[in-house]
Amino acid sequence: MHQEQWSTGESRGRKTARQEKEFILGDQFNEDGTTRIEVALLTSEGTTKLELRLLGWGEGIGWYIQRRIQLDTLQIGALKAILGRGAAQVKSSARTLKTTCTIGTDTPRNPQGLSLSLRP
């Protein structure tokens, strides 16, 4: 998903407009479908940041951002390294399972009416 946003700022007493582009890289629901985490790539004036968002569900509102964390390129590299080390540890301690995927539309736990379940 791609969105463009315009924001205003001040530069030496003048108001300026800056264009910010946003690309949603992916998201993941929690186990009961009440919150989800979203990863977005933000670009503006030659800079790139990664934004991690925690979204909640509100009746009548839909999904809304509860918290956001922006990471610069140095922090993104560090996070990749940390997750890479963590993934190796998880793989070595978890047994390998053959999984099947079931997608349903009538699960009441997910506010949007869609569910995804993986079963060994």
For residues 34 and 28, give the distance between their C-alpha atoms in angstroms, rounded to a whole number: 11
Phi, psi of 99 (to 5 degrees): -115, 155
At 48, is the pLDDT very low, low, confident or very high (cuts 50, 70, 90)?
Answer: confident
Contact assessment for residue 43 and residue 20, using Cβ atoms and an 8 Å cutoff: yes
Phi, psi of 74 (to 5 degrees): -65, -45
* pLDDT for position 17: 61
Give the three-class secondary structure for 31.
coil
* pLDDT for position 101: 58
Query: Where are the chain's structural domains?
Result: 2-94
Identity of the residue numbered 116: L
The pLDDT tens digits of the residues spanning 11-33 come to 555 555 668 899 999 999 999 88
User: At CB < 8 A and 24+ separation, what contacts does 44-51 make?
Assistant: 44/18, 44/19, 44/20, 45/18, 47/72, 48/73, 49/73, 50/75, 50/76, 50/79
* pLDDT for position 18: 66
Q: What's the average model confidence in pLDDT over 78-92?
A: 80
Average pLDDT for the chain: 76
Is domain 2-94 given the CATH code 2.30.31 in the classification?
A: yes
Q: Closest by alpha carbon to 44, among 77, 18, 76, 13?
A: 18
